């Protein structure tokens, strides 16, 4: 159990470092901004208690808010991401079939499931994030464009991360 905690602490620090110091300054004309830090919440083990998942999601969002100078927007989006994760996993995963509470990564699940999981969670996160950031329906076309392009960029980065760091023995 302590190995899982250590791996997730390292993943948390690495993804936040990568997000804050590299991806914050990366984007395409403020239309496509990747948010790879959400992968930390997405890869938490299946067996994590819901209260702990929500606390970790909120802390992750608050940490990103501190670096991005946004007033709770990322914290709210990460909390919505955690809620959608709980619902998605409860609908699609049979918990009895897994030993040692694995995490929902590409090595454990098949590509189709993981891609759909990533797609749904990323769309919900980015929709919440950009709608709260804009908080205006006058520029809805611009906001939808940002949601779609940023989601596509984030999904590609998540898949690249998974192909690089997932173990091949379970695939």
Give residue 171's pLDDT: 43
Whether 59 is in a domain gets the answer yes
Whether 171 is in a domain gets the answer no
Whether 170 is in a domain gets the answer no
Task: Dump strand ranges (E) for the chain.
Answer: none
Whether 73 is in a domain gets the answer yes
Query: Total structural domains in the chain?
Result: 1
User: pTM of the full predicted structure?
Assistant: 0.89
Report pLDDT digits (tens) over 102-147.
788 887 788 899 999 999 999 999 999 999 998 888 889 999 999 9
Whether 82 is in a domain gets the answer yes
Report the candidate in 54, 121, 123, 52 with the shortest Cα–Cα distance to residue 89: 121
**What is the extent of the structural domain holding 43?**
2-165
Report pLDDT digits (tens) over 23-37.
777 767 777 889 999
d(CA 64, CA 81): 14
Whether 30 is in a domain gets the answer yes
37 Cβ contact list (under 8 Å, min separation 6): 15, 16, 18, 19, 60, 64
Whether 54 is in a domain gets the answer yes
């Amino acid at each position: 159990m302590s190995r899982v905690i250590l791996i997730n602490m390292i993943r948390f620090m690495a993804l936040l470092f990568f997000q804050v110091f590299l991806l914050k300054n990366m984007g395409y004309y403020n239309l496509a901004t990747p948010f790879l830090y959400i992968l930390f919440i997405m890869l938490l083990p299946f067996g994590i208690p819901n209260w702990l998942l929500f606390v970790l999601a909120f802390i992750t969002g608050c940490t990103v808010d501190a670096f991005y100078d946004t007033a709770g927007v990322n914290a709210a989006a990460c909390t919505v991401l955690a809620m959608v994760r709980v619902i998605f996993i409860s609908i699609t995963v049979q918990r009895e079939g897994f030993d040692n509470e694995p995490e929902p990564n590409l090595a454990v699940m098949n590509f189709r499931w993981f891609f759909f999981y990533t797609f749904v969670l990323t769309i919900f996160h980015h929709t919440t994030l950009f709608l709260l950031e804009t908080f205006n329906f006058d520029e809805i076309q611009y906001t939808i464009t940002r949601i779609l392009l940023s989601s596509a960029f984030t999904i590609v980065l998540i898949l690249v991360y998974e192909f690089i760091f997932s173990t091949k023995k379970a695939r």
